[in-house]
């Protein structure tokens, strides 16, 4: 069985987003607090290192366009499928994911995720809703295996159903 690994934001994208996000707005860093002020960032997935934000960390909520950035690097033309949305990240570049953290970010059982499949041109070629079970890694492995069984699929974006937030990307192995 093929194994898959979640990809965090590329370091160059993280560095750029710490200054100006993909909607053209300046990043506005803040300190994550337990009481949710000014934003409820504690426990939110940081897309730079694929772990939850902790109290006292400097974070930013920015707009990110992962498909656009991938298309710019590959020459794809996603057209109307190019979308941007909110993501949390460290307010300054970090070391990326902890190698011991596993292949996927921690996800609570019952969370709803959408896996969107894209071809090499950046067009959506399918999708799947996944209600995350207790064994999240096995469920992601199965869902990604099904996605990449289609030879047309070049990459998969995993997003939260509730807010559409981008969580991570997986590329064809």
pLDDT by residue, tens only, the chain of 173 residues: 678 989 999 999 999 999 999 999 999 999 988 776 555 677 788 999 999 888 889 999 999 999 999 999 999 999 898 989 899 999 998 988 987 677 898 788 999 999 999 999 999 999 999 999 999 999 999 999 999 999 999 999 999 998 888 999 999 98
Which residues, listed in sequence order, are joined to residue 138 by a DSSP beta bridge? none
Element (H, E) at 114: strand 112-118
Tokens of 69: 């950035």
* Domain-located, residue 135: yes
CA 32 – CA 53 distance, rounded (Å) = 7
Q: Domain range for residue 50? A: 11-97+107-171
Count up the domains in the chain and report the number: 1
pLDDT of residue 36: 63
Q: Do 159 and 130 touch, CB atoms closer than 8 A?
A: no
Q: Given this model, what pLDDT does residue 71 score?
A: 94
- SS3 state at 67: helix
Q: What is the edge-to-edge ordering of all strands in the sheet holding 166-171?
A: 124-131, 112-118, 155-160, 166-171
Question: In 3-state terms, the chain is what percent helix, strand and coil (to 5)?
Answer: 20, 30, 50
Task: Output the furthest CA–CA distance in the chain (Å, rounded).
Answer: 46
Per the CB < 8 A criterion, the answer to whether 52 and 90 are in contact is no
Residue 114 lies in a domain: yes
pLDDT, position 37: 57
Bond before 40 cis per omega within 30 degrees = no
- pLDDT score for 32: 87
Domain-embedded: residue 5: no
Q: For residue 142, what are its two tokens?
A: 């199965």
Q: Cα(3)–Cα(60) distance, rounded to whole angstroms?
A: 31
Res 102: pLDDT: 76
Q: 30 lies in a domain?
A: yes
Q: What is the pLDDT of residue 40?
A: 63
Instruction: Indicate whether 1 belongs to any domain.
Output: no
């Amino acid at each position: 069985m093929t194994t898959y690994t979640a990809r965090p934001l590329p370091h160059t994208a993280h560095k750029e987003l710490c200054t100006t996000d993909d909607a053209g707005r300046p990043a506005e860093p803040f300190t994550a607090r337990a009481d949710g002020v000014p934003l409820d960032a504690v426990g939110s997935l940081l897309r730079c290192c694929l772990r939850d934000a902790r109290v006292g960390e400097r974070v930013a909520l920015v707009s990110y366009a992962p498909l656009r950035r991938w298309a710019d690097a590959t020459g794809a033309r996603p057209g109307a499928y190019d979308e941007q949305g909110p993501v949390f990240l460290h307010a300054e570049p970090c070391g990326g994911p902890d190698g011991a953290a596993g292949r996927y970010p921690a996800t609570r059982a019952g969370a709803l995720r959408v896996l969107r499949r894209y071809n090499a041109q950046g067009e959506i070629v399918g999708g799947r809703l996944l209600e995350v079970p207790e064994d999240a890694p096995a469920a992601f492995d199965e869902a990604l295996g099904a996605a990449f069984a289609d030879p047309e699929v070049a990459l998969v974006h995993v997003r939260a159903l509730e807010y559409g937030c981008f969580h991570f990307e997986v590329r064809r192995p």
